[in-house]
Amino acid sequence: MEAREIPVGLPDSLAEGETRTIPVEALAGRRVTAAVIAPDGYHLTARTTGGTGLVGDLFGMGRYRQNAFLAKGGRVVPVELPSPYRNPYESPVYAVGWIVDGDRR
């Protein structure tokens, strides 16, 4: 259960009102849904943990880590995030889609 980055070549800018479909090579031939909840009922939860307490904060030793979990009902499954996504201030994590297995339309 670990995540990996899928590179997407986004344009530097778009004209106002312009829309564009950008193919994602790593997902070629796969069907992706933009639903918040995955077809199997799980959803992504990201939260931050950390901090070293008052003394650590005063001396600049604070560390914060972003943790991601897949949750469904009462079950919570941790997902290991690659660097730099462990740091919530550098790269926050959001679910943007779910791969729908078995349906390759």
Residue 49 lies in a domain: yes
- What is the chain's pLDDT, residue by residue, as a tens digit (105 residues)? 667 778 888 899 999 999 998 888 888 888 888 898 998 899 988 776 655 566 665 665 555 566 788 899 999 888 887 777 766 666 677 777 888 876 444
Residue 20 lies in a domain: no
Residue 43 lies in a domain: yes
pLDDT of residue 42: 92
pLDDT of residue 17: 94
Handedness of CA 90, 96, 101, 105 (dihedral sign): negative
Q: What is the pTM of this model?
A: 0.60
Domain of 56, in residue numbers: 34-99
- Rounded Cα gap, residues 58 and 82, in angstroms: 29
Residue 5 lies in a domain: no
Residue 79 lies in a domain: yes
- Rounded Cα gap, residues 5 and 82, in angstroms: 8
B/e letters for 14-48, b = 16+ CB within 10 Å, e = fewer, are eeeeeeeeeeeeeeeeeeeeeeeebeeebebebee
Residue 72 lies in a domain: yes
Residue 23 lies in a domain: no
Token match 């564009």: residue?
20
Residue 19 lies in a domain: no
Using an 8 Å Cβ cutoff, are 101 and 24 in contact?
no
In the chain, how many domains are there?
A: 1
pLDDT of residue 23: 87
Distance of CA 62 to the CA centre of its chain: 23
